[in-house]
Structure 1
């Protein structure tokens, strides 16, 4: 993964963006030798955010299943849920 200082990136912004966009490889920006930010292709970022949301949903579902198993609760059918919410 390429890395460059903020000063260099400032002077070559169009090149930095093109490198991230075309190469689909983030460009890490540094300040005093430490990575402080990254330039990443917008589509790549959207895919990462969607994947993170999917993973959060999977973890929440697993947690709910574990909680139900511990408490001894059973699942509610869709028909029962709709009836309870007045949607039947």
Structure 2
């Protein structure tokens, strides 16, 4: 479902109910551009968990590769995660 910001403003409770009860997300547009999405909180949490697991697997793979290449210039997994968080922040 795609709706404009103006339409969503007029019936936000319905948009939230649709997301939570029917599990139908709503993409919100502003001036024709997709800006945000309203989705069920459980779906949001599920997607966040998937993203975190993928990031952790990627970091572990990088750490394994770095370890196999030697320790010169290597950083710990924790340092790598901090660098990525800083870059995203």
**When the two structures are superposed, what TM-score results if normalisation uses the length of structure 2?**
0.74
Tell me the equivalent position of 2:13. 14
Tell me the equivalent position of 1:29. 28
Q: Please report the RMSD computed on the Cα atoms of aligned residues, expressed in angstroms.
A: 1.3
Question: What runs of 5+ residues in structure 1 fail to find an aligned partner?
Answer: 73-88
Distance in 1 separating the partners of 2:9 and 2:69: 55
**Length, aligned pairs only:** 71
Distance in 2 separating the partners of 1:70 and 1:25: 47
Alignment of 1:47-62 (within 5 A): 47-62=46-61
> Aligned to 1:57, what secondary structure does the other structure show?
helix
Distance in 2 separating the partners of 1:28 and 1:45: 14
